[in-house]
Chain A
Amino acid sequence: MILINNKTKYDVIVIGAGPSGVSSAINCAKRGLKVLIVDSNHEAGGQIYRAPPKTYKSIPKNKLEENEIQKKMSIELKNYQIETAYNHTVWQVSPGFKVNAFNDFSTIQWETKSLIIATGTYEKIIPFEGWTIPGVIGLAACTVMLKSHHFIPSKKIILAGNGPLLILVAYYISKFGGKVDAIVDTCSKLDWIRSTLSLITNQKNFNDGIKWIFKIFLNRIPVHSNCKIEKAVEVDGGIKVKILNLKTGEYKNIFSETIAIGHGLTPSTDITRLLRAEHIYDEHKGGWIAKVDRFLRSSVNGVYLAGDGAGISGALAASDKGLLASTALLYDKKIISKKEFDTNTRKIKKKLDKYEVFAKAISKLNSIPKKLIENIHEDTIICRCEDITKKEILSAVDQGAKDINQIKSWTRLGMGPCQGRTCQYTASKIIAEYLNCEIENLGYLTGRSPIRPVPIDRVLGDFDYEKITKVEAAPL
């Protein structure tokens, strides 16, 4: 058996080595706390600054700014002598706190007094007919391919969904020599123009955006505003895509090789749900999020949320949010004085407030039009792990299922390897619309271990039957 019980007790374990995890780990280490930072990737960086694959001998010639920032993050952690557990996927966190993770060889358990959760977000995809066929990928997944792996998914691609990722991905695809056949945006051009004033508050991102849009114009990429993908079918040599104009009701067919689609991001709540922390529903912050106070303390003593975990503010705000959460931790542990806490948090909050205007504008561009949910065909699969259709969900509701966990139990929705990360948002929207109720009333899926599928052979290794610690059989 390879259950390694690490004897070291940490003051803080930071889960997630993106910008917020790294900044909070450093803030704690500076004050002498014993810190461990865990990440499933092989280096620090998170999603935005994801390190290139280990197998890459050298960074390709299209070197990006993100790759530089990523390198700096890894080096900083080293400089502060922060213990790192890269290549470790956390699969269980229990009160007290015990953190269980697996790597390529075994599963390991660490203990810690406090926990900083910096696990970021994952992307929302509103299903359409054919979204599970090969060749349909996530828009955020596509940015990983582009920015960290330096490749394009196919020569020709359709980008669909909404929000700034559409233009970012279009920019990089064109830069790397691909052809964007169309951008299918649920927003109108007016929505974009309206958001300009807010977006400009973040000069750096705004300038990037202008650069991206310029490239789209230059490459004459067709932009279909107010549109959604209605259906995608595999055909010889590619995918036939039917798009629907939500305003005019007109249809149009486009051929391409790949679809990259995304409707914004939703915070990862796996760990806080496992720990039975309180959660609230906030559409603008991405859906169900852990409830936090002004300083990012969760409802569970000793658990803090850095980064986008308790509401999306974006990559630039992430490291400040990490600072805020860790400053609260340092104060709670009586390592810094009230005065220092007040001064520091005031400074950080001021900076963060600026990002909030930007985040709100982005969230508006990412908002899900009602029609997008209404339009889902009843035979469309909503839970792709278990192949559960909209019809099956609604028939359980008709039979009297009243909350999302009852739907889960009756239909198997959210029971698969992704544990509802992909379907919970859409399923809740569908049910709320059908019952004409608030999503809050439906509740959220109870957190269940393992939060990521655990490969059995990796956890067990080779073992002797005689050495299995058995529990006594039931009485005869």
Chain B
Amino acid sequence: MTQTDIAIIGGGVNGSSTGLELAKNGLNVTIIDKNFICRGASGVNAGTLTMHMTRAQLIPYAKKGWELWMNTSEWLSKEIEVEKKNGLCLAFTEDEEKLLIERSKVRKKYGADIKVISRKEAQRVDSNINPNIRCAAFCEMDGYVSANQTGYAYSKALKENKVNILENYSVSEIEYNNNNKYVIVFENGEKLIASNLILATGVNLGKTLKFLQIDINIKCLPQQLIVSERMPKIMDTVITVANGKLSLKQFNNGTVLIGGGWPGIGNIEDNYTETKPENLIGNMMLACHAIPKLKNSRVARVWLGLEAETDDAMPIIGEIPNFKNAYVIGSIHSGYTSGPYMGKLLAEKILGKDVDLSLFDIKRFL
């Protein structure tokens, strides 16, 4: 039976960032994933790093996360496409204008450097946007990551920091023994003993918490993403909209990614996903309305990712009550943006630093 200081179940951005930080501080870390590192939501999300869609209360965390993403060469890897872009959130109607002003004000209060600008100013930021907007919210702190490269970058960094990675390992049981240690039993019969346990299984967090007899509702949001074929440059910003769901940007290779969280069909039981054509069309219409040149393109691929959400749509991060040295991290809204920072925070907490995670305490659901 192998032993480890820290066992992290779930090798997405949350689990991997936590593990990376702990390993850098000299701890012996094992990351377990039922698939591969960052092959779930962390590898298939839109990679948008925007403040315009982040929940107001999470803005301070998203800002820290954004800064980490902009410096991946320092703590993660050089080999991941990260671009800083200006972010524009567009309002097309009078109602949307009101909503945009109001929402930007709240986000600003929480620290986002957002200002509402006129149509002309917005066109100067990106001449490709629909000229019929009423106004836009502007934020310099925006950009994107090529999320498909997340697994590559994290695998490399984890290996370099001597993290033990168990891929294709499904957990069937977790025993909490008399010595306050965790015995993780895998479906293949192998076992692992850990002094510390971190649960970071994303959309499966509800299922994983049940191993410790904790019952929390984690919703599964199947979200569609659409990517165009490669195109000449048709936009130069990250675009969102005041009302409804849209995130839009063009990667360096020319493909345009249309996201924002339009629901498709999917469940965690058999990991099945299916696209909803009517929602693809709605999402594409919104995108083409924002950037009209997009209409000349073709859709090359559609896929889905499963996002996790708690009942109050706020994260759960921190200690698991009644268990010694057991922690949880997940359901972070705009989790890809904040994930690296949230992971770092949890790692610091485990290392004994004074970190305030009370906003994300799991106790509120128990």
B355 at the interface (CB under 8 A from A): no
B282: chain A residues within 8 A (beta carbon): 468-471
Q: Tell me, rounded to whole Å, the shortest Cβ–Cβ distance linking A91 to chain B.
A: 8
> Which of A406, A416, A460, A469 interacts with B230 by CB under 8 Å?
A416
B272 at the interface (CB under 8 A from A): yes
Question: CA A459 – CA B272 in complex, angstroms?
Answer: 26
Query: Interface segment, A180-188, A244-252, A277-285, A450-458?
Result: A450-458
Q: Tell me, rounded to whole Å, the shortest Cβ–Cβ distance linking A356 to chain B.
A: 35
B151: chain A residues within 8 A (beta carbon): 406, 409-410
Are B39 and A406 in contact (CB-based, < 8 A)? yes
A3 at the interface (CB under 8 A from B): yes
Given A409-B151, A455-B298, A457-B295: A107 touches B277 (CB 8 Å cut-off)? yes
Question: CA A107 – CA B243 in complex, angstroms?
Answer: 27
Q: Please, what's the 1-or-0 string for B152-178, where 1 marks a CB less than 8 Å from any CB in chain A?
A: 100110010000000100000000000
A473 at the interface (CB under 8 A from B): yes
- Among B53, B92, B156, B244: residue with most chain A CB under 10 A: B244
Categorize the interface residue count of chain B.
35 or more
B286 at the interface (CB under 8 A from A): yes
Given A456-B288, A463-B285: A396 touches B152 (CB 8 Å cut-off)? yes
Are A449 and B302 in contact (CB-based, < 8 A)? yes
Are B261 and A474 in contact (CB-based, < 8 A)? yes
Q: Please, what's the 1-or-0 string for A269-298, where 1 marks a CB less than 8 Å from any CB in chain B?
A: 000000010000000000000000000000
A385: chain B residues within 8 A (beta carbon): 229-230, 300
**Interface positions of B from 314 to 347, Cβ below 8 Å from A:** 333
Are B263 and A471 in contact (CB-based, < 8 A)? yes
Are B301 and A419 in contact (CB-based, < 8 A)? yes
A453: chain B residues within 8 A (beta carbon): 229, 298-300
Are A386 and B253 in contact (CB-based, < 8 A)? yes
Q: Please, what's the 1-or-0 string for B130-166, where 1 marks a CB less than 8 Å from any CB in chain A?
A: 0000000000000000001101100110010000000
Question: CA A469 – CA B92 in complex, angstroms?
Answer: 15
**Interface positions of A from 361 to 379, Cβ below 8 Å from B:** none
Question: CA A449 – CA B39 in complex, angstroms?
Answer: 19
Question: CA A386 – CA B301 in complex, angstroms?
Answer: 13
B284: chain A residues within 8 A (beta carbon): 456, 459-460
Name the residue on A nearest B103 (C-beta).
Answer: A476
Residues of chain B whose beta carbon lies under 8 Å from any beta carbon of chain A: 36, 39, 43, 53, 55-56, 92-93, 103, 106-107, 148-149, 151-152, 155-156, 159, 167, 227-230, 243-245, 253, 261-263, 272, 274-275, 277-279, 281-282, 284-286, 288-289, 294-303, 313, 333
- Write 12 A-B pairs (CB below 8 A) sorted by A numbering: A3-B277, A385-B230, A406-B39, A409-B43, A410-B148, A417-B229, A453-B300, A465-B92, A468-B286, A471-B245, A473-B243, A476-B56
